[in-house]
Amino acid sequence: MRQFAKSIYKTIQKMGKKRTHASDEPRPAKIRKPTAADLEAEQSLPEFIIDEAKGLRRVVPYWFTHRTMAKGRWWGRKVLEVFQKEFQDQSPDYYKRAIEAGKITVNHEQKSIDYVLRNGDLVSHSTHRHEPPVSNAKISIVFQDDDLLVIDKPPGIPVHPSGRYNHNTVLGILKTPEYGFKNLFSVNRIDRLTSGILLVALRKDKAAELAAQLADRTVEKTYLCRVKGRFPSEPIHCAEPILVLSNKLGVNTVSPDGRPCETNFTLLNYNPETDTSVVVCEPKTGRTHQIRVHLQFLGYPIANDPIYCNTDLWGPDLGKGGVKDPQQVMENIKNTKFLADLGDGVVDLPTVVPAIEKDTAQQTLVGSDGTAGEEAAVSDPLNANETKLDSGSSSESADAPPADAFPCAECAITRPDPLPSQLRIYLHSWKYSGQGWAYETKMPDWAEETFSEKQ
């Protein structure tokens, strides 16, 4: 009996002790389920404005709520401190006012600036979104059946939501009444400024099937580009490894420390008047900006490439033969007054994504400019950080306070519209073929031998 009493006493002592194990964590907070009004608001459709005169598609500004589960490093910290320390797109005072105004909430409820975040908390931030305009060029359908949609993507439109783009995307536009599609699953990825073949599955199993083929490198890809100078008449095989110079900015370069990479290049035609060549490109591996980086290394960068054909960034030799001073290149990019001037839009993240995560944005699924690899998905040269919210996060239109209840600084700014030349790059995804299938688009106008860059 005495032994039993001692056992009970020890058990009670253990129960009363404070947990100290490394795996211990705060008890999950109970999240209020979204109301019917929440769900209805999240299904609201965007309002597009078609600017026929300028050939642009605009989205009327709207309130948008970014949501994410509290990260482990946020637990035990005040919500104001988390936003002020980890988010850099607004001033510290803005976050204080946003919390007090209910623009930043936890578990769908307004909290004080001293609220301490816990495991299981759902953090939301409502912002007034102003999406940049995109090209209003028609999205041509190359092939369609019950499982797959193959389109010829116009340049100047991102594939899917990322960064400042949410509705003004290929997938978003295809879901409008104009096209009438519903469930869409992008298979390959090409840059916003790049045009050409885009595979869009209409069922998840078809997306998985094609993604597996891409991952196994059984898909043949052929691109067209127009480069500076007279490209050699003999085919060139470039096997230089490529290194990510900056995940945050999505800039890459040839480096012996990089990952294996192979591209075949063949001259198609040369125009002596413009001193430019049209080249057929066949990437055998998939790395971010593989074609663009290899061409830069060879000394024939894409003629209108805002990144890899920019002497302000790479110097007079434009990185031919490899970058001599990578750190200087990074400094040049950082010192650029407006990253948008480089041609791929403003660099930013959905407001809820902390700045500390910008450098670790994961590259997933299939390729940027068709060559970002079956494991990469950086959509814009300077927008590697323009990524979907991570697992457990979401971004939806939601019922936020009316615009006049919380002034929007962006509403007071008039930004210039992009010029047609800023909405495309001379890089086109021309042909894709795999196990029992092959698709091809028309050649772009700039691939003609007599094309003039002034056209």
Q: Which residue has the tokens 């909290």?
A: 111
Q: From the candidates 121, 152, 191, 369, which is the catalytic residue?
A: 191
Cα–Cα distance measured from residue 170 to residue 152, given in angstroms and rounded to the nearest whole number? 11
Helices (H) and strands (E) in the chain, counts: 9, 20
Q: Identify the CA nearest to 59 among candidates 181, 166, 151.
A: 166
- A 10 A CB-CB count for 147 gives 13
Phi and psi for 328 in degrees, rounded to 5?
-65, -40
According to DSSP, the residues that pair with 237 across neighbouring strands are: 264
Start-to-end C-alpha separation, the chain: 98
Residue 243 neighbours by CB under 8 Å, 6+ apart: 252, 253, 254, 255, 257, 258, 259
How far out from the chain centre does Cα 33 lie? 30
Cα–Cα distance measured from residue 415 to residue 423, given in angstroms and rounded to the nearest whole number? 16
Q: For this structure, is 445 an active site residue?
A: no
Residue 83 neighbours by CB under 8 Å, 6+ apart: 95, 98, 99, 104
Segments of 218-343 assigned E as strands: 220-228, 236-238, 242-246, 251-254, 263-271, 276-283
Cα–Cα distance measured from residue 431 to residue 441, given in angstroms and rounded to the nearest whole number? 7
Q: Identify the CA nearest to 131 among candidates 47, 53, 195.
A: 47
Report helix, strand and coil shares of the chain as percent, to nearest 5. Answer: 25, 25, 50
- For residue 210, give the H/E element and its range: helix 204-215
Handedness of CA 95, 100, 103, 104 (dihedral sign): positive
Q: Which residue has the tokens 């009444």?
A: 177
Cα–Cα distance measured from residue 33 to residue 268, given in angstroms and rounded to the nearest whole number? 59
Active site residues: 191
